[in-house]
């Protein structure tokens, strides 16, 4: 199993009972699940991030369809041409006319088809010649023709939660005959293992399973293939060690550790864990480096996050906050820089937007700093939270008076309209009990 196809493909479930992590889309009481179980499959667009189960759901539908003599044809928009689609549609027409047999056409990466190619499906979906199932990682509102989209039900598949990832990984671990080593138990089963075929061939630390689940970031394909690489690498290194040392090879004495599964993932997953504490540690380090005017460290922490797969819009949002919290009125244009960087990231995405964020981060590191506004606003919040009893009313002269009754009650009476005066106007704007309070100079009111 390990030496053949990718583990993610080998472990692809055939039924909804083994399809984990998408309860909102295909849970027990959902409309889609009811339709799938009764084999009343509508045209669908499956939208979700990589590794969330789009192709797997199509695979489950395919298995179920074959039991009911429904043709299921798969094409990938990455290599299929318009003629390929026309051939499938022609065959579907013949099947429907001569054998009354339905055809389901699954198009993986359907967003890679241009608008003209997508138009090819339209009349045939309309008349029921084919049931179309498209899978896409891109927003179908922008990447799928509006006319085609209106004839399909969009199913949103979410990033798999860590709990679902653990379940998926454990299913694979059990199928591979790997024994999970409980880290809470002090005894080492490796020292008592034998070469008997009845013993598990390999062990894996339980914390390694948890780490792999979190670092996979909701991508089951990455997690399963990372597990496969970790096992193969550990077996290979064990064989090499035994060969060099002259020992007999014993597969039952192989332990897969947390470091092994990290090695089984891409380098970016080792650098940065978006799901765990490292996410908060790195953004904190970036914030403090910019605050301390260290442009080198600021660029380092930025790159560490982006190269690790952090959402650039998350970083950009933090920069908008930093512009007002730490730079403030010392350089008011910093806020403009941050908003422009956010918009740029939204427009062009990664990897092109990384230099936009780098420019903004260096600008902030070099900029003068002021927390005057930030501190003053915190003083206002503290004043409001600590106030005893009802909050003071808005002074009458500051109130708006849109009706005659309000004017008669004194709303707006005595208000001095500042633009009409050439000299500064002596007028109170705070409630009477707060007169004389300066939030920029004192902490309490």
CA distance 417 to 343: 38
What was the pLDDT predicted at 276?
A: 57
| Beta-bridge mates of residue 435 | none
> Taking the model in full, what pTM does it have?
0.60
Q: Residues 323, 364: contact at Cβ < 8 Å?
A: yes
Domains of the chain: 22-156 (3.40.50.300), 162-189+198-266 (1.10.8.60), 277-369 (1.20.272.10)
Task: Render 159-213 in DSSP notation, one character per residue.
Answer: PPPHHHHHHHHHHHHHHTTEEEE-TT--S-HHHH--S-TTS-SEEEEHHHHHHHH
Q: Residues 425, 416: contact at Cβ < 8 Å?
A: yes
For the cut 90, the answer to whether the pLDDT of residue 167 exceeds it is: yes
For the cut 80, the answer to whether the pLDDT of residue 299 exceeds it is: yes
For the cut 60, the answer to whether the pLDDT of residue 188 exceeds it is: no
The pLDDT tens digits of the residues spanning 421-444 come to 999 999 999 998 898 899 998 756
Residue with the bigger pLDDT between 275 and 232: it is: 232
What value does the mean pLDDT take over residues 364-379? 95
If pLDDT is split at 50, 70 and 90, which confidence band does 106 have? very high
321: Cα within 13 Å, side-chain hemisphere: 10
The pLDDT tens digits of the residues spanning 52-96 come to 999 999 999 998 888 888 899 999 998 988 899 999 999 999 999
φ, ψ of residue 388 to 5 degrees: the values are -95, 130
| Beta-bridge mates of residue 108 | 76, 135
Find the helix packing angle between 162-175 and 220-245, rounded to 10°.
40
| Beta-bridge mates of residue 106 | 74, 133
């Amino acid at each position: 199993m390990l030496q053949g196809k990718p583990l993610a493909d080998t472990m692809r479930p055939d039924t909804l009972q083994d399809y984990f992590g998408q309860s909102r889309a295909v849970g027990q009481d959902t409309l889609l699940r009811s339709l799938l179980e009764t084999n009343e499959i509508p045209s669908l667009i499956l939208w979700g991030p990589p590794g969330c189960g789009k192709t797997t759901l199509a695979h489950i539908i395919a298995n179920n369809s074959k039991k009911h003599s429904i043709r299921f044809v798969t094409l990938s928009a990455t290599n299929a041409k318009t003629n390929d689609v026309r051939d499938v549609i022609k065959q579907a027409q013949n099947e429907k006319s001569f054998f009354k047999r339905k055809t389901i056409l699954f198009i993986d990466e359907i967003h890679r088809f241009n608008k003209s190619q997508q138009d090819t499906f339209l009349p045939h979906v309309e008349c029921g010649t084919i049931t179309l199932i498209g899978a896409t990682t891109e927003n179908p509102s922008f990447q799928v023709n509006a006319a085609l989209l209106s004839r399909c039900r969009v199913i949103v598949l979410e990033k798999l939660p860590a709990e679902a990832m653990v379940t998926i990984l454990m299913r694979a671990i059990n199928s591979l005959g790997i024994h999970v080593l409980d880290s809470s138990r002090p005894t080492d089963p490796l020292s008592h293992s034998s070469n008997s075929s009845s013993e598990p061939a390999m062990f894996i630390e339980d914390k390694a399973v948890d780490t792999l689940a979190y670092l996979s970031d909701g991508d089951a394909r990455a997690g399963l293939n990372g597990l496969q690489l970790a096992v193969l690498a550990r077996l290979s290194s064990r064989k090499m060690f035994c060969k060099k040392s002259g020992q007999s090879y014993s597969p039952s004495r192989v332990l897969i550790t947390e470091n092994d599964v990290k090695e089984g993932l891409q380098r970016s997953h080792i650098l940065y864990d978006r799901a765990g504490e490292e996410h908060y540690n790195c953004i904190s380090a970036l914030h403090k480096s910019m605050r301390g005017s260290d442009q080198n460290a600021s660029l380092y922490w930025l790159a560490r996050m982006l190269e690790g797969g952090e959402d650039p819009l998350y970083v950009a949002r933090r920069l908008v906050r930093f512009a007002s919290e730490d730079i403030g009125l010392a350089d008011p244009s910093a806020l403009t820089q941050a908003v422009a960087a956010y918009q740029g990231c939204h427009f062009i995405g990664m990897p092109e937007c990384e230099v936009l964020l780098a420019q903004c981060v260096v600008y902030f590191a070099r900029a003068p700093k002021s927390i005057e506004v930030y501190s003053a606003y915190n003083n206002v919040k503290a004043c409001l939270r600590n106030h005893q009893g009802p909050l003071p009313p808005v002074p009458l002269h500051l109130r708006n008076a849109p009706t005659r009754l309000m004017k008669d009650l004194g709303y707006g009476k005595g208000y001095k309209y500042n633009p009409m005066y050439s000299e500064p106007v002596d007028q109170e704007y705070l409630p009477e009990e707060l007169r004389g309070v300066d939030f920029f100079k004192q902490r309490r009111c």
